[in-house]
Amino acid sequence: MFSLKHQPLTITLLNIGWFVSVQAGVASTFAGSPTSANFPPSGAIVSAHDSFFPGASAVGFAGPTPTGDEADSVVTAPAVAKMDNIFPLIKPDSADTKSKLWDTLPVASVKSFGLPNTSPLIPKDCELSEVHLLHRHGARYPSDGSLRAAFAGALNAVATRGNLSASGPLNFINTWRYRLGAEILTPFGRSELFNLGVGFRMKYSDLLKVFKDLPVFRTASQARMVDSALHFAVGFFGVQDFQREYHQLITIEEEGFNNTLSPYFQCQNGGNEIAGLGSDKALQWADIYLRPAIARLGRFLEGYDLQVEDLVAMQLLCAYETNALGYSAFCHLFTEEEWKGFNYFIDLSLLYGAGPGNPASSAMGIGYVQEVVSRLTQEQITQFKTTVNGTIPIYVDATHDIVLSRILVAMNFTSLAANGPLPIDHIPENQISPFASNLVGQVLECPTGASKATHIRWLLNDAVLPLTGISGCKPHSNGLCELSTFITGMRQRIEEVDFWFDCFGNYTVPNPDYITNGQFPPNLRN
């Protein structure tokens, strides 16, 4: 077991004033290549000097540049814009539009989590005083070594031997090749975060007027995380000298470094068979809902024996190819029922892998809860017994989707999984809520009788969350909870979560259905 040590962090200075050109005659691996998504491509020679292409500030002659007042549409608008833009992707036009493709990869608004008559707009007579944003990175290529790449490699091996022949709906596989990269953002993913930054500026930038110092935004050090944070910042501040408008704090995402934005490196049970509970459950379900597809599609593929995992890979390829390439021929292979089954496949994977059904979820999310309490109380964190790092004043945080899920569990937003454990032999009437793209906390001054009191509420993908799972927070039509009550409830959650046991305890899970709050049950501990 490695020791958890507080590590000093550095603010990475950013410089975008570079220019490159590709020398004529140098072979490129960029265009159409599945092995490179970078420009300039590998092997290119930089032959131009950036002094030949001075920036706008050096050229001058900018013309009039008066700016307007800061926006605050979340306060003044009669309605709120929803996150539903998928341009330039080609959305499937058949029954498969029900796929999680449109719930998770492109950012999508959620209508309600049990408060159908409320809105992300600031409630009447309330005044916004503070906002906290936690957002996932943008859409990306699959993880390295994923099911998608494994399926493509297996097909290619058979095709190389000349034994592969596809017909009917699978005829496209005869000329299909795997064109996806790994891990980093796709171009569409970059646009998502730019648009998120623009939207956040339109909603909340009036708060910039009260800043005495530059705001601090935080992200982890993985390439897709930094890329996401920068595109958000450009959307929020604009491309002209955006680096001067804020501080970008990049926290190290690696073993041995405390980091609430990537806590699995500091949680032993976040990377072993405990972490694999979601995959196990999901594949058990896939063996049921995809059996008809194996019989239906297998007869069109000679030389390759389709397995359940291959069909899961095809459904994932629909999502990832559309996200990366704009379109995927895999999307039209499955029936509406099979896409509903895929939705539920994702639900199971999330709930038991990074949600309330995994015993290490709350432990991995509790460090962020400590940071929230620290921000709301203006009390510095002095003990680092979870994944908290001690040098992070933060206002906007970029993280991974599975970390966002764990934070939601740690904060005890119970409405997201109110139906408890999910079966693996059928789809229940009600399911777990879809992956989040962003979580927003609004601190508000609202009327309470003859005076005003400070409240807080939380929005997940534009939908207001009920806070009744938090001790002391009462049902409220606008999802409000008095700030002091919320802080007390969060402190109670911090005390309830046994970080060291849930993350480093040597235990097995006798039945995952025993886990309903992201913690290992105390009555089952030795």
Query: Is 282 contained in some domain?
Result: yes
Select from 481, 472, 490, 488 the least CA-distant residue to 448: 481
Query: Is 525 contained in some domain?
Result: no
pLDDT in tens, 454-487: 999 999 988 899 999 999 999 999 999 999 999 9
Query: Is 111 contained in some domain?
Result: yes
Query: Is 47 contained in some domain?
Result: no
Label residues 340-354 b or e (16+ Cβ within 10 Å = b). Answer: bbbbbbbbbbbbbbb
Over 90: is that where the pLDDT of 525 sits? Answer: no
Are 367 and 384 in contact by the 8 Å Cβ rule? The answer is no
pLDDT in tens, 75-112: 766 666 666 667 777 766 544 444 444 444 556 677 77
Q: How many angstroms separate the CA atoms of 457 and 473, rounded?
A: 10
Coil, helix or strand for 454?
A: strand
Query: Is 41 contained in some domain?
Result: no
Q: How many angstroms separate the CA atoms of 47 and 24, rounded?
A: 10
Query: Is 76 contained in some domain?
Result: yes
Query: Is 526 contained in some domain?
Result: no
Q: How many angstroms separate the CA atoms of 61 and 401, rounded?
A: 44
pLDDT in tens, 372-389: 999 998 887 666 555 444
Domain of residue 465, residue span: 1-17+55-518
Q: How many angstroms separate the CA atoms of 516 and 121, rounded?
A: 32
Are 282 and 151 in contact by the 8 Å Cβ rule? The answer is no
Q: How many angstroms separate the CA atoms of 419 and 92, rounded?
A: 31
Cα 166 to Cα 60, 158, 295, 329, 425: the distances in Å are: 60, 12, 15, 14, 31
Over 70: is that where the pLDDT of 433 sits? Answer: no
Beta-bridge partner residues of 442: 131, 457
**Lookup result for tokens 């995992």:** 309
Query: Quick one: DSSP state of residue 5?
Result: B
Beta-bridge partner residues of 133: 396, 440
Give the pLDDT score at 504: 93
Select from 443, 399, 411 the least CA-distant residue to 137: 399
pTM (2 decimals)? 0.84
Q: How many angstroms separate the CA atoms of 504 and 260, rounded?
A: 17
Residue 14 host element (H or E): none
Are 240 and 203 in contact by the 8 Å Cβ rule? The answer is no
pLDDT in tens, 233-265: 999 999 987 889 998 999 999 888 889 999 998
Residue 93 host element (H or E): none
Which region, left, alpha or beta, applies to residue 114 given φ > 0 means left and ψ of -120 to 50 means alpha? left
| Beta-carbon count within 10 A of 279 CB | 15
Q: How many angstroms separate the CA atoms of 449 and 483, rounded?
A: 16
Query: Is 478 contained in some domain?
Result: yes
Higher pLDDT, 52 or 142: 142
Half-sphere exposure of residue 138: CA atoms within 13 angstroms, side-chain side: 26
Q: Are strands 301-302 and 165-166 parallel, antiparallel or unpaired?
A: antiparallel
Give the pLDDT score at 180: 92
State the CATH number of the domain containing residue 229: 3.40.50.1240
The number of domains in the chain is 1
Q: How many Å separate Cα 251 from the centre of its chain?
A: 17
